[in-house]
Every structure is written in structure tokens, then in C-alpha cells.
């Protein structure tokens, strides 16, 4: 990278990490032997904590006895404070059983960012301050590792049917306008040829997800409803997937790209 590029990257890093707390030395849920290095990350997975406060999520990620051993590279609190929990050259244990664009086990090639929010229709909005902090962080990480906007995804995208976060209140449209996420309407016409399921898989949603490693690989096929729910949560969250006929509406939007401002 030329000197100008290095200076720009340093500026983005300073803007992203301004006032942050580094708790990587405290978080127990990442491998410190070097066997789980994060090499050439291509994806950033955005999570919602699903809790009433970031204190609950932080306590879980710092609890050495927690059975799920959850962690993320970063946590953004309700006050928009940025906390780093895992070094960027190590895997965080955030995505679980997951896949995106035909690759399994996203922990191996993604950064995980938790943002405090209950992730429910009846819960509060994500705050402008949280989004400002998130966008600055995304711009730096995307530039640092040459990550494309189409690979900025939600947990619900990579684990359809199993996860719903960051939930229906997450402002994906705002991220798209800021250039740190990609609208589904900007893909080429070829993506939308064929059946609904084929279109969803071409957009990156997983046809199947590998389960826990066993002697014989086991995969769970994603149902079309699960894929459509993941699509709705990511690309048209105001189309409630609890309303009658939501599947038909989502399929129509997908096949005709008539989403408008939904």
C-alpha cells in the first residue's frame, strides 16, 4: 500500500478506535495458542445482543464458565462505547454453525461485531450514536482487509432459521447509503433468473449449513421459508414475516425487484 493509502488507513483506524476499551487480555473465549488464527477475513457478521443491556452480553463474554464460550471481536454498547474482546488476528467464537457464499464456519474467515439491542419488533431502535460508531468501525475493517460491501451481513443471514439478529429494527438501508453494505437491488439481472430458492442462494444465503464436526459430515438443508425470513430481515425488515402472506410478498419482491422503500 502506498504512503497515501497507509495514511488513510491510519486515519480510519484512529477514527474507529477513538476512546475504545481493549479487553482482549480479559476475555477468555478465544484461543491464545495461535492455532485459531484469523487469516484473510472476507466477511463481517453483525450481531444484536438480544438483551436489555450490554452489561449482560459483556458478562457472558467475560465469564470463563459460560458453556457456550461466546465472544466477538467488538461490542458496541447502548452508550455507543466500543469494546474490543478478541484480537483481529484471532478467531472469535461468534457465528456458530453458519455459512455464506458457499463457505462454512464463518468464525474462520469473519469478524464479529455485537451491537447492544433487544432485537425485537417491540424493542427500541438502534441509536444514531451506535450506528455512527459501527460505520466508522466497518470502514476501517473493510479497508484494512479489502472486505466488500456484499459481505457485510447479519447473523440471521449466515444461520437462517437458527438466528434472527440483529433483528427487524436494524437500519440496513442506512448502512447501504453509507456504502458499508450492499442493497440486493444492485446485483446483476443474472442473480434473479430461476426459482426463488436459487435467487436467494446466488445472493449468498446458504443452501445448507454444516453441523458439528463428526466422522461423517452432516448438513441441514435450509428451508425456503428460513431463507426467505433471512432475506426479509436483511433486505426488507419492515415487511413483517409474522403477517399473513409474507412469503408471497417476499417472493414477489425478490423476483421483480419491486421493494421500493420497504
Cβ atoms of residues 70 and 94 within 8 Å: yes
Q: Quick count: other Cβ atoms within 10 Å of Cβ 102?
A: 9
| Residue 176: closest CA among 152, 204, 144, 202 | 152
Report the distance separating Cα 163 and Cα 60, nearest Å: 18
What is the number of helices (H) and of strands (E) in the chain? 8, 10
**Active-site residues: which are they?**
114
The reply to whether omega before 40 is within 30° of 0 (cis) is no
Q: What grid cell was written down for 28?
A: 477468555
Q: Which residue from 84, 64, 81 is spatially nearest to 72, judged by alpha carbons?
A: 84
Which stretches of the chain are DSSP H helices?
Answer: 3-17, 54-62, 128-145, 155-158, 172-177, 196-202, 224-235, 246-256
Using an 8 Å Cβ cutoff, are 119 and 48 in contact?
yes
Amino acid at each position: 500500500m502506498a504512503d497515501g493509502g497507509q495514511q488513510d488507513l491510519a486515519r480510519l483506524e484512529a477514527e474507529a478506535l477513538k476512546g475504545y476499551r481493549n479487553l482482549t487480555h480479559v476475555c477468555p473465549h478465544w484461543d491464545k495458542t495461535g492455532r485459531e488464527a484469523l487469516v484473510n477475513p472476507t466477511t463481517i457478521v453483525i450481531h444484536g445482543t438480544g438483551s436489555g443491556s450490554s452489561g449482560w452480553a459483556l458478562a457472558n463474554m467475560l465469564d470463563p464458565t459460560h458453556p457456550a464460550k461466546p465472544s466477538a471481536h467488538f461490542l458496541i454498547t447502548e452508550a455507543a462505547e466500543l469494546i474490543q474482546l478478541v484480537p483481529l488476528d484471532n478467531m472469535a467464537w461468534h457465528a456458530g454453525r453458519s455459512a455464506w457464499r458457499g463457505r462454512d464456519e464463518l468464525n474462520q474467515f469473519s469478524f464479529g461485531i455485537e451491537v447492544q439491542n433487544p432485537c425485537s419488533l417491540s424493542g427500541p431502535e438502534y441509536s444514531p450514536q451506535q450506528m455512527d460508531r459501527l460505520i466508522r468501525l466497518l470502514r476501517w475493517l473493510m479497508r484494512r482487509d479489502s472486505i466488500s460491501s456484499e459481505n457485510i451481513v447479519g447473523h440471521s443471514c449466515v444461520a437462517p432459521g437458527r438466528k434472527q439478529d440483529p433483528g427487524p429494527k436494524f437500519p440496513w438501508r442506512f448502512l447501504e447509503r453509507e456504502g458499508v453494505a450492499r442493497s440486493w437491488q444492485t446485483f446483476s439481472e443474472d442473480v434473479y433468473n430461476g426459482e426463488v430458492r436459487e435467487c436467494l442462494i446466488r445472493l449468498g444465503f446458504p443452501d445448507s449449513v454444516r453441523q458439528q464436526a463428526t466422522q461423517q459430515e452432516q448438513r441441514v438443508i435450509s428451508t425456503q421459508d428460513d431463507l426467505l425470513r433471512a432475506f426479509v430481515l436483511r433486505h426488507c425488515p419492515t415487511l413483517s414475516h409474522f403477517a399473513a402472506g409474507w412469503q408471497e410478498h417476499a417472493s414477489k419482491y425478490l423476483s421483480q425487484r419491486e421493494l421500493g422503500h420497504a
